[in-house]
Amino acid sequence: MIAMPHLKNALIVATISAVVSLAHAEEKHKFGKAAMTGEQTYKAVCVTCHGEGLAGAPKAGNRRAWAPLIAEGYNDLVGSALTGVRMMPPKGGAPELYDIEVARAVVYMVSLAGGQFPEPTEANLKAARLDGEKRHAARLKTAAASRR
């Protein structure tokens, strides 16, 4: 058999590439981009308001400001971040974010404030979104009633 080291190296590179692609496949979503971590999402989007506490947003790392929000729980906080609450638009005004990126950013900010939420999973993310949609609908109903 003729030795062909360049083909062997190409096969190794192709195999490694395939393994890496498979490893990242679950992180790819409908737009084909890998989902950001909580810290990356925070730095790309959330820091705009939560970095300095703009528009009443709790400042990242401020334990006192975050304590009552953390006490409300994962579903409420993640659900509110997904659907919008008070001055914060849905997904912090970045509709291109995946739900999991928003949830990871919430978990990251909670950790900065000394809290601990579970990492987002398909199940707890779905529950949080449903909770957020119910709360959002209730807020809209209350706002409409107050205008009558």
* pLDDT one-digit tens code per residue, 101-139: 999 999 999 999 999 999 999 999 999 999 999 999 998
CA-to-CA distance for 136 and 97, rounded, in angstroms?
19
Q: How confident is the model at residue 140 (pLDDT cuts 50, 70, 90)?
A: confident
0.85 exceeded by the pTM? no
Half-sphere exposure of 51 (CA within 13 A, CB side): 9
Residue 113: what pLDDT? 97
How high is the mean pLDDT of the chain? Answer: 83
Q: What does the block give as tokens for 21?
A: 């692609």
Torsion sign, CA atoms 31, 104, 74, 96: negative
pLDDT in tens, 57-74: 999 999 999 999 999 999
Length of the chain equals 148
DSSP-based three-state secondary structure for 19: helix
Q: What is the pLDDT of residue 3?
A: 52
Helices (H) and strands (E) in the chain — how many of each? 7, 0
How much is the pLDDT for 139? 87
In this prediction, residues 9-31 reach a mean pLDDT of 43
